[in-house]
Amino acid sequence: MSNPKGIKTITIVGSGLIGRSWAMVFLSGGYKVHIYDNQPGQAAKAITEIRKQMEELHQAQMLRGSLGAAEQLALLSSHDDLQQALEGAFFVQESIFEELEPKQKVFQAVESHVGEDVVLSSSTSCLMPSTVFSGVQNRSRCIVSHPVNPPYYVRLVELVPHPDTVPAVMELAYTLMTEVGQAPVRLRKEVDGFALNRVQYAIIAESWRLVKDGIISVEDIDLVMTEGLGMRYAFIGPIETMHLNAPQGLEDYLERYRVGMKRVLSSFGPIPEFAGEEAALVNKEICELIPADQEHLSARRERRDKLLMALAKLKK
96 vs 315: CA distance, rounded Å = 30
What is the Cα–Cα distance from 179 to 155, expressed in whole angstroms? 12
Which one, of 192, 205, 186, 311, lies nearest residue 265 by Cα?
205
Residue 146 falls inside a structural domain: yes
pLDDT tens, 18-77?
999 999 999 999 999 999 999 999 999 999 999 999 999 999 888 999 999 999 999 999
How many Å separate Cα 19 from the centre of its chain? 11
Q: What is the pLDDT of residue 305?
A: 87
- 41 with 143, same domain? yes
- State which of 186, 217, 236 marks the end of a domain: 186
Q: Distance between CA atoms of 141 and 91, rounded to whole angstroms? A: 10
Q: Which residues of the chain have pLDDT under 70?
A: 1-5
- Tell me if 30 is assigned to some domain: yes
Domain boundary among 186, 221, 252: 186
Domain match, 178 and 64 both: yes
Spell 237-263 as b/e; 16+ CB within 10 A means b.
eeeeebbeeeeeeeeebeeeeeeeeee
Instruction: List, in sequence order, every residue forming a beta bridge with 159; answer none if it has no partner.
Output: 145, 186
Give DSSP secondary structure letters for the chain.
Answer: -B-TTS-BEEEEE--SHHHHHHHHHHHHTT-EEEEE-SSTTHHHHHHHHHHHHHHHHHHTT---SSS-HHHHHTTEEEES-HHHHHTTEEEEEE---S-HHHHHHHHHHHHTTS-TT-EEEE--SSS-HHHHTTT-S-GGGEEEEEE-SSTTTS-EEEEEE-TT--HHHHHHHHHHHHHTT-EEEE-SS--TTTTHHHHHHHHHHHHHHHHHTTSS-HHHHHHHIIIIIHHHHTTS-HHHHHHHSSTT-HHHHHHHHHHHHHHHHHT--PPP--SHHHHHHHHHHHHHHS-SSHHHHHHHHHHHHHHHHHHHHHH-
CA distances from 312 to 155, 183, 290 (A): 8, 11, 25
**pLDDT score recorded for residue 4:** 35
Which of 143, 158, 186 marks a domain boundary? 186
Q: What is the CATH number of the domain that holds 237?
A: 1.10.1040.10
Q: State whether 167 and 219 are in the same domain.
A: no
Q: Are residues 212 and 288 in the same domain?
A: yes
Q: How many domains does the chain have?
A: 2
Residues 145 and 217 in one domain: no
My answer on whether 207 and 283 are in the same domain is: yes
According to the model, what pLDDT value does residue 60 have? 85
User: Which pLDDT belongs to residue 218?
Assistant: 98
Does residue 2 lie within any of the structural domains?
A: no
Tell me, yes or no, whether 35 and 178 share the same domain: yes
pLDDT at res. 15: 98
Residues 146 and 199 in one domain: no
pLDDT at 284: 97
Q: Are residues 54 and 91 in the same domain?
A: yes
> Nearest 5 degrees, angle CA 102-CA 105-CA 107?
115
Are 123 and 269 within one domain?
no
Q: What is the pLDDT of residue 3?
A: 37
Q: What is the CATH number of the domain that holds 35?
A: 3.40.50.720
Question: What pLDDT, on the 0 to 100 scale, is given for residue 291?
Answer: 97
Are 41 and 166 spatial neighbours (Cβ–Cβ below 8 Å)?
A: no
Can you give the residue range of the structural domain that contains 111? Answer: 9-186
Q: What is the pTM of this model?
A: 0.94
Classify residue 3: in a domain, yes or no: no
At residue 2, the pLDDT reads 35
